Amino acid sequence: MKKNIIFMLIMIMVLNIAVTSIVDNAYGAEAEIIWLEKEYDEIYFVSEDLIKVGYKDKYGFINKSGKEIIPIKYDYIEEFSEGLARVGLNDKEGFLDKTGKEVVSIKYNHTSSFHEGLARVVLDLDGKYSFIDMSGKQLIPFKYTYIEEFSEGLAPVRLENKWGFIDKTGKEVISLKYDDAEGFNEGLANVALANKYGYIDKRGKEVVPLKYDSTSHFSEGLAEVSLGGKYGYIDKTGKEVTPLKYDYKYDYANNFTSESGGLAAVRLDDKWGYIDKTGKEVIPLKYDTAYDFSEGIVQVGFNDKYGFIDKSGKEIIPIKYEYIDEFREGLARVGLNNKEGFIDKTGKEVVSIEYDYVGFFTDGLAVVGLNDRFGCIDRKGNEIIPLKYDWIHDYSKEILIVRLDKKIGIIKNPLLNNQETKPIAPQEKSILATPTVSRVLVNGKDVSFENNSK
């Protein structure tokens, strides 16, 4: 009996060790890491489930298991667009598919990524442009000095110093007579003659007179225009829905968009506010900076501090942070006293402002850094991937790229394996083991250890 009791006690210890090991890897973060066998100089981005890598100034792609899919031999390689990636080799350019097959020969002096099934190419040193389709077939002669991408079925083209528009058969549907032209958006394109801008429709009819100093694309039925250094908005008939009285907006805020909720930022005398589509100033021009509305709220700044307001102008998150970013997955990055953390839309600091660096949340994970060590947390601030790596890049939804002691590894997002899994400290999940004469009750369940051997 004494031997049986000793045996059972040993088994209890084994069970405790085993469960603790499982709990320590509750998300499988460490178990999922794949260390790359080859030493790459850099990992760049993830595109179409492939990872761009570089070694000795040559580039290619590996998959998420670390297998080399596209040889590390190209002088440069770009992200996939519509299933094909631009590559360069020996001063020539072409396109690869995701298997590494050169579907468009590497023979061009210049190419652009595919858009609407077509790509711009230059073949000879004379710099003339044409379009090819995804099989490499040339669609129009090499005769234009420049061409833009197709938009709404038409592309701006330039011959010598005049611009017009072609369709996808190469037919010049709008005469080459303009000094400048941009692509169509919401049925209209901005064009210029003698340094004055206006708008034409797809038949080439001038629907807004060419009288402005600058124009922008239409969005939500309105476009920003300027005259004499002052800016305002017009509709598609050319009616000025706001007076042209505002100042240039730099790059802080865009025009009306589908996500702006009918509001756009405007600037006057270095103060920012918001107008609606009738031109009414619905949020006073009192802020030092203003950005784009997202999810019904927007970041604003005053005296080098930042917070959020809603569409009524109500301050919903105090303007007290050193910096603040837009909300993603319900949380926003904020900085205070040179530390970073996250707040929710009520302003509650759900992740303490204690890190040297925090990234955006992607599928429940955010990269964080402290004392030059990097890891990942979930939206509750739980440490999911330990802060032990030299750096971590969250290039895609499914994987993270890590570096540790000159090694590069790939970690699958552990939250995607089991969305219900919760991080648990080992001591929080214990085993209650009760020995009897010849068995053990583990958490109330009978586990037999009878020794039937003779």
Question: Which 3-state string (H, E, C) describes the chain?
Answer: CHHHHHHHHHHHHHHHHHHHHHHHCCCCCCCCCEECCCCCCEEEEEECCEEEEEECCEEEEECCCCCEEEEEEECEEEEEECCEEEEEECCEEEEECCCCCEEEEEEECEECCCECCEEEEECCCCCCEEEECCCCCECCCCCECEECCCECCEEEEEECCEEEEECCCCCEEEEEEECEECCCECCEEEEEECCEEEEECCCCCEEEEEEECEECCCECCEEEEEECCEEEEECCCCCECCCCCEECCCCCCCCCCCCCCCCEEEEECCEEEEECCCCCEEEEEEECEECCCECCEEEEEECCEEEEEECCCCEEEEEEECEEEEEECCEEEEEECCEEEEECCCCCEEEEEEECEECCCECCEEEEEECCEEEEECCCCCEEEEEEECEEECCCCCEEEEEECCEEEEEECHHHCCCCCCCCCHHHCCCCEEECCCEEEECCEEEECCCCCC
- What pLDDT is stored for residue 394 in this prediction? 72
pTM: 0.77
- What pLDDT is stored for residue 424 in this prediction? 34
Pairing of β 155-159 and β 323-328: unpaired
Contact 92, 106 (CB under 8 A): yes
Partners of 240 in the β-ladder: 234
Residue 338 backbone phi and psi in degrees, to 5: 65, 20
Over residues 113-135, the pLDDT tens digits come to 999 999 999 998 789 999 999 99
Instruction: Break the chain into its structural domains and give their ranges.
Output: 1-26+424-454
CA distances from 109 to 112, 146, 362 (A): 11, 14, 38
- What pLDDT is stored for residue 209 in this prediction? 97
- What pLDDT is stored for residue 252 in this prediction? 55
- What pLDDT is stored for residue 173 in this prediction? 97
- Taking alpha carbons only, the member of 113, 103, 117, 147 closest to residue 129 is 147
Mean pLDDT by groups of 10 residues along the chain of 454 residues: 48 37 38 82 85 94 92 95 96 96 96 94 91 94 94 95 95 97 97 98 97 94 95 96 91 69 91 94 95 88 96 94 92 96 95 96 93 95 94 79 90 72 40 38 42 41
Give pairs for 142-145: CB < 8 Å, separation 24+: none
CA pair distance 145, 263, nearest whole angstrom: 39
Over residues 47-66, the pLDDT tens digits come to 888 999 999 999 999 998 89
CA pair distance 399, 250, nearest whole angstrom: 35
- What pLDDT is stored for residue 250 in this prediction? 74
Residue 18 backbone phi and psi in degrees, to 5: -65, -45
Residue 302 backbone phi and psi in degrees, to 5: -150, 125
- What pLDDT is stored for residue 251 in this prediction? 62
